[in-house]
Chains A and B, each alone.
Chain A
Amino acid sequence: MSMTQTAGAPAAAPTPATREPLMRAVGLDKWYKGVHALKNVDLDVGYSEVIGLVGDNGAGKSTLIKILSGSHAPDRGEIWFQGRKVKLTSTRVAMELGIETIYQHTAMVPQMSIARNIFIGREPVKFRIGRFGLLDTAKMDHEAMEALEGVDLHLRSPHTPVDELSGGERQGVAIARAMYFKTKLLILDEPTNHLSVKETDKVLRFVQSLKEQGITSIFITHNLHHVYPIADRLVVMARGEKIADLRREETSVEALTDMII
């Protein structure tokens, strides 16, 4: 309930119509082995927005975010990021632009510590030979804890293995990681799936703190009750098509449910 109240506060000033959106996807098409998984989808993503991407299983949500995150290439269509046309050939390319995706179950390496997880692939090093270098573990530990404080997550030690954290805390670490690396667009794939009410609340708070810091997020879920209270916009997908793109004020959980079914 607390989330509904927070979200009930006046929304941030809408982005001026003249401004280029953060990301613009135009006419995205994707086929998987003869299945038309994504049909001519357009999507504008503004600055400091929370977008709820909803739809039933197989609606095309995952396909869309796989394209936006750089892990799959679209068969047709264009993607513009901050006014520039981009080709997201890999997740690395997307990450360098500032687009990061968090998959609930595969975002972290469970056996590794929080600090090591935060810096996978982007480790600070004391010196390097080519691409290989000696880890700056003091910096990793220190900045990992600072990053966690940034999302108001208070964990005891940067050395704690991730598999000792709760589901919500893991999401928090992943979100802290994205914020630490100055992500502009964070895509969260079912971040509240299989979480308790309390943990879900935590994750929703993390997402709100993203918005407060000017980071846009796309929140994929099939649970409207989770995303509706915190979303600025709701994008509904069905059978590979975008069937609605509404501001929260223009719709309700009931109306959205009717669309999805």
Chain B
Amino acid sequence: MSVSSTNKSIGRPAPSGFKATVKALLSRPELSALLMAIVIVIAFQIWTGGNFITADNMKVVLPLLPELGIVALGVVILMIAGEFDLSVGSVFALIPMFGHILMTRWGLDPVLGLIISLAAGILVGWVNGMITLKFGIPSFIATLGMFYLARSLAVVLVGGFPPPMPEMQFQLDLFVYNFGSFRASLIWYAGIAIILGFVLHKSNFGNWIFATGGQRIAAQDMGINVKRVKMLCFMLCSFLAGFAGTLQTYRLKSPLPNIGTGLELEAIAAAVIGGALLTGGVGSILGAIIGAFLIRAIDNGLAMSRVNGEWFRAFLGVLLVLAVIINIDIRRRASNMKITSK
């Protein structure tokens, strides 16, 4: 209702409140994802005979959610800025593997190893950004290159069987302490999501991200350094992928070079289900969270319904396309809604 109060304050008639609120609600990019999430949760609850939303089942879903969810946060921000990152799945494996090698083979202190490996994640994003922005190569191609390179490095680094994890209870407690139905990683996810939500939707930098992805020339003409904005988003995206991979490695208590395979597409799917546009300029943090939750919920819900696990991708594919179609339809309806102020 801030709309009407703003208008009143400068002596203009307020637009009809209810309709304006409905319109504002319909215009939100994450609406279709939210509706689908509600429908799917209810459907699974019925299908599984009430076994979907139970404390026991949440123990299975919630520890997995932050790992995809954090990757999707970086991916959605980069997509809003108008770029892609196909390398997040590989970076998800490479960064924790690199950290592990630093600790075990190079004998680095675990905390130092963690910091250096996460910094390496930022460096990967910088390389992605440089290739894309300096040479004018589409990020789709640039990060496809990194997708292969990082995965290969992860495998080569381990060089056979990974050495066992060193004693590092402090980090395990800090990042993946098991609270029963969820792990510490969920708190990290929530914290990161809140911070990035503020950055994206409430800060001037967020405004620059939307402007850069929405109409690059307009942003440039208004004095925004669009390359720097994109570069920061690339770095954030890779950093978050590396961090999420580290969370999974800690949860599994074992570094594996093949984790995160296919994750890049799941993360993009989460962002798109959450209302992000491939063309940039549209998307939201809340949408990416709902998208990631939906994907994990389907994965688990199908298993709970004793459906062959191979159906997961079919389900996800249908959901993805459906979400986009519903989204386009809702947005068209919202933009056609006429609100008169007179």
Binding site for B on A (CB under 8 A): 71, 90-92, 95, 101, 103, 106-112, 116-117, 119-123, 125, 128, 131-135, 137-138, 141-142, 145-146, 149, 154, 156-159, 161, 163-164
Contacts and interface: CB of A to CB of B under 8 A. Distances in A.
A91 B281 contact: no
Contacts of A92: 223
30 contacts: A91-B222, A92-B223, A106-B215, A109-B211, A110-B215, A111-B210, A111-B214, A111-B281, A112-B281, A116-B210, A116-B211, A117-B218, A120-B222, A121-B222, A123-B204, A123-B207, A132-B203, A135-B202, A141-B6, A142-B9, A145-B6, A145-B7, A145-B10, A146-B10, A156-B339, A156-B340, A157-B20, A157-B341, A158-B6, A161-B27
A157 B220 CA distance: 26
Given A133-B204, A158-B3, 5 more contacts: A106-B217, A109-B214, A110-B281, A111-B282, A142-B6
Contact of B203 (A117, A135, A149): A135
B310 interface: no
A245 B202 CA distance: 48
A156 to B, nearest CB: 4
B149 interface: no
Interface string B194-222: 00001000111111101100110111111
Most chain A beta-carbon contacts within 10 A, residue among B2, B215, B341:
B215
Nearest to B3: A157
A134 to B, nearest CB: 6
Interface class of chain B by DSSP: helix
Nearest to A142: B6
B335 interface: yes
A95 B15 contact: no
Given A106-B217, A106-B221, A149 B10 contact: yes
Interface in B254-269: none
A183 to B, nearest CB: 13
Contacts of A138: 2, 6
B197 to A, nearest CB: 12
A159 B20 CA distance: 10
B222 A134 contact: no
A110 B282 CA distance: 10
A120 B203 contact: no
Nearest to A125: B204
Chain B interface size range: 35 or more
B202 A134 contact: yes
Interface string B92-125: 0000000000000000000000000000000000
Contacts of A107: 218, 221
Contacts of A159: 3, 24
B210 A133 contact: no
A106 B212 CA distance: 12
B308 to A, nearest CB: 41
Nearest to A71: B221
A125 B217 CA distance: 24
B224 interface: yes
Contacts of A132: 203-205
A120 B208 contact: yes
B4 to A, nearest CB: 9
A103 B224 CA distance: 16
Contact of A95 (B206, B218, B223): B223
A133 B202 CA distance: 9
A100 to B, nearest CB: 9
A116 B207 contact: yes
Given A111-B282, A133-B203, A161-B27, A121 B335 contact: no
Interface string B172-192: 000000000000000000000
Contacts of A154: 12, 341
Contact of B204 (A103, A106, A108, A135): A135
Given A121-B219, A121-B223, A145-B10, A161 B3 contact: no
A106 B218 contact: yes
A108 B210 contact: no
Contacts of A142: 6, 9-10
